[in-house]
Structure 1
């Protein structure tokens, strides 16, 4: 009687070894492999709505953060960016990257969608506080950004990205 062995590994599942004897066993081995492949495909398709919910929620938080940030700053980033002001682009880009880092961490480490949204809200408030602190430390921030002095935009971007990284690490609990 012939003996067949097959090591089976699928992403997210432990590897295992299947042993089959004879022709019937070999047929069963092939059928079970096809069944597992279908299970993986079914799992991927069934998780698509949850994936979309996380992406839409994260993008909603990013949009809310951007709207709040643009509203509280004493200068008009979008108008400055449209006029070619690189400093405004550096600062807004860095702020968005900093918040995006935190959002990515909340998506990866949350236990459910509500948990992700709540931690995203906490991160939003924290990143807004970072801007307010930067505005206190850099007394001429508004004038520097409006005058397109790159050092102001780069410093604000660096502060936002650095605190975003720290914030992202903190929400891994």
Structure 2
């Protein structure tokens, strides 16, 4: 039994690091947007849930790869921050292409939210694949 839980310490350390990075990502992302995702989601605005959910999945894909490939917690954190920067870049690129993105999401328009989620996921998949260090 002890052999099967020998990795528990590393599991907890990487899990805590991931939780901190996810929390940081969500805070930074929600500060960057011109709309209040959580308030919109609480009101049942599907577009906000699609955009935020897609972005969160897109961030955690490369984060999972960073955890898998990491040589240590610092290495994991650095590559997690790289994933964060990439995702924020995607958000700003989509916002440049769709200047009224936040207004459309707040109004419940799903097309821009789906596009943002898809762009985020595409970048997250490529970002994860590129983490071959």
TM-score, normalization by structure 1 = 0.74
8 Å contact kept, 1:106–1:172: no
Equivalence for 1:92: 52
Structure with the larger strand share: 1
Gaps of 5+ in 1: 1-40
Aligned to 1:108: 68
Q: Secondary structure at the match of 1:44?
A: coil
CA RMSD of aligned residues (A): 1.0
The one-character-per-residue Cα deviations of 1:86-142 (angstroms, maximum 9, x if unpaired) are: 000000000000001011110111111111111101111111111011100112202
| Counterpart residue number, 1:127 | 87
Count of matched residue positions in the alignment of Structure 1 and Structure 2: 133
Q: Distance in 2 between matches of 1:74 and 1:47?
A: 42
Structure number with the bigger relative contact order (C-alpha 8 A, sep ≥ 6) is: 2
* Structure 2 residues not aligned, in runs of 5+: none
TM-score with structure 2 setting the length: 0.95
Equivalent residues in 2 for 1:52-63 (5 A)? 52-63=12-23
